[in-house]
A and B are shown apart, each in its own frame.
Chain A
Amino acid sequence: QVQLVQSGAEVKKPGASVKVSCKASGYSFSRYGISWVRQAPGQGLEWMGWTSAYSGNANYAQKFQDRVTMTTDTSTSTVYMEMRSLRSDDTAVYFCARVPVSWDLSSDYWGQGTLVTVSS
């Protein structure tokens, strides 16, 4: 069965970086993409960007263009999302999710989420 398992919760200070992993299993990894969506406490869903596991290319929403990098390790079927220069308003649950087709960046399977807390 399709599974996306994310790394554990993180606590970071403002200005630091965080790297969240998303390990995929149960499907042909390189045939799908992975997107990242975050959710601040009590708020809605915010789409951040996605990466094609096939090409390794990543595209980011403008808001995250300068601070986020998404990378793929096909040998372990793992995607990473790194965010730099963290601020308190980056405190959120970060989800990875599988993207079945490149022309519709919606997602059918989701990871369990990783809570990133930014606090001094």
Chain B
Amino acid sequence: DVVLTQSPLSLPVTLGQPASISCTSNQSLLYSDGSTYLNWFQQRPGQSPRRLIYKVSNREPGVPGRFSGISGSGTDFTLKISRVEAEDVGVYYCMQGVHWPPTFGGGTKVEIK
């Protein structure tokens, strides 16, 4: 199975400051169509997961522009929040669905300092 390793486990952030979450895959997530399929999900307390980013860097409709996804080497991915707001508190997961079985990272808990 593809292993997605997220860091840090916990991320205390000051309101208005940037935040960065890392996700490293032990296999390439490049598909035969030339796209890399890495997704980011946000799960606020008591809510269902919500997909923020698909194919590394594409924001879902309605996702604020302060969220961005970038790729480093093809197996290293980062979710950036340019200025953290109170509503961003929750757990963030990376996820791949292109290799069987689909797998999630362990999650990163974002909290306000």
From 97 to 113 in chain B, residues with beta carbon under 8 angstroms from any chain A beta carbon are 97-98, 100-107
Interface size class on chain B is 20 to 34
- Complex CA gap A111/B50 in Å reads 10
Residue in B33, B51, B107 whose beta carbon sits within 8 Å of that of A107 in the complex: B51
Interface size class on chain A is 20 to 34
Residues on B close to A: CB < 8 A? 31, 33, 37, 39, 41, 43, 48-51, 54, 60, 91, 93, 95-98, 100-107
Query: Can you offer 28 A-B residue contacts whose CB atoms are under 8 A?
Result: A35-B102, A44-B93, A44-B104, A45-B43, A45-B49, A45-B93, A45-B104, A47-B103, A59-B100, A61-B101, A62-B101, A95-B48, A99-B97, A103-B31, A103-B37, A103-B98, A104-B37, A104-B39, A104-B97, A105-B97, A106-B54, A106-B95, A106-B96, A106-B97, A107-B51, A108-B60, A110-B49, A111-B48
